[in-house]
Amino acid sequence: MEKRNESLLNISIGLKCTSEYVVEDKHTAKHIGSGDVSVLSTPSMILFIEQTAMNCVQKYLPDENTTVGILVNIKHLNPVPVNEKITVEVVVTSIENRKIVFDTKVYWRNIVVGEGLHERYVVNTNRFIEKIKKLISENK
């Protein structure tokens, strides 16, 4: 039986969310520096996956909480040219304590562009910021 944090009780296994994005020059491998071609970069695709997953669950969390990405295991399968629309689909497949696991797929038209797994962790925003400040002050 999965242990679930109280703040996650409104999030259901199977929750599915989709978002659409248009590939712009700033999202290309050439612009980012991860390649020489003006197609959707892997880092940008991962950004779109993380944004979709974050937005999917944020509305179910208490105001003082947010999620942070902790794992990305994504395959980039096909290129997407500039000015084309992609659809990102995330599905909650597991919830354990404060960790939410998503199955992800990215489509361009009817072509699977990317797929894989993404995990996010629920944190108290103020405590997370305080932790960052503490780490900075301890590691000057």
- What contacts 24+ positions apart, CB below 8 Å, involve 102-110? 102/49, 102/53, 102/56, 104/49, 104/52, 104/53, 104/74, 106/45, 106/48, 106/49, 108/78, 108/80, 108/84
Q: Which residue has the tokens 């990305």?
A: 72
User: How do residues 10-48 score in pLDDT, each as one tens digit?
Assistant: 899 999 999 999 999 999 999 999 999 999 999 999 999
Please list the rounded mean pLDDT of every run of 10 residues in the chain (140 residues): 61 97 98 97 99 97 96 99 99 96 98 99 95 90
CA triplet 132, 137, 139: central angle to 5 degrees?
95
pLDDT of the residue at 28? 98
Alpha-carbon distance of 27 to 23, in angstroms, equals: 6
**6-138 sits in which CATH class?**
alpha beta
User: Strand order of the sheet with strand 111-124?
Assistant: 16-22, 85-96, 99-108, 111-124, 65-76
